[in-house]
Structure 1
Amino acid sequence: MQTLFTHPHIQVLGCALAMAAFTGLPAIAQDHALEGGSIGVEQVERGQEEYMANCSSCHGEDLHSVLSTAPDLTGSVFKYGWVGQTVGAKYNVISTTMPAGMGGSLSDQTYVDIVAYILSANGVSATQDGELPADPEALQAITITAP
């Protein structure tokens, strides 16, 4: 008689679960969306380059903070700090305070591209023809929503 743990299907399932844990695959995808706007593939690519150059030294290359004074930009911090807010509200905070001690030092387009990258990294889908405008007033009409 075969026990449950020696059954071939259970062993395969166990190996698959172990591989997922070790490779860092998420258990459940958590996508977010924008109501009233969209981000573009090219904008996200520009934003990633600018994020790596201007933000990653504090907020981490994977959006998980490397400094105790810099918040994560993903996970529960995103869920509770970004979802339900307008893109304009988040853009205003970032553009007036970042990089630390040098708020306003980047162009409006660079700031909005970085916001697009952060949104994309948190599950907002980018489209071929979408793009957030580099207009703070227009960004107030776009809301970050939960799945």
Structure 2
Amino acid sequence: MVQDAPSRILFVCLGNIIRSPLAEGVMRTLAPDLHLDSAGTGGWHVGKPPHPGAIAAGALRGYDISMLAARRFDSEDFRDFDMIVTMDAENLASVKRIQPQESVVPVTRLLDHAPETGVEDVPDPYYTGDFEPALDLIEAGCRGLLRDLGR
């Protein structure tokens, strides 16, 4: 493992009901020793469980995200996490906008860690209904993230 590799990772998407909870669920399976959480840049779904389509897609692959509840990303997350991983460029920009100037917490997109996919952003199934292709990308991104962390 890379010395001083992040052990507290936060995944961020728009509403915290599909992509970031799926990333949290995938990573919990791949690296159960890490401290993981997910959040959304928007507050529409705070306190609600993940989208039923996300729960179903995850369950088909052995990821149980049904117990998670949406929460909103805030500036304190820069204190509580070693790394913040967003699902797309829009959320990357939103997170960086509120990043404290003194913060050294790295902020990346998930698919920055999976260049072999040829895709930069995980598309939002909230609008497309395409949960399986999004989950394929999330799995690739999580495996790449672990590889980049030397795990």
TM-score normalised by L of structure 1: 0.26
Q: Which has the higher contact order (CA 8 A, sep 6+)?
A: 1
Of Structure 1 and Structure 2, the greater helix share is in 1
TM-score normalised by L of structure 2: 0.25
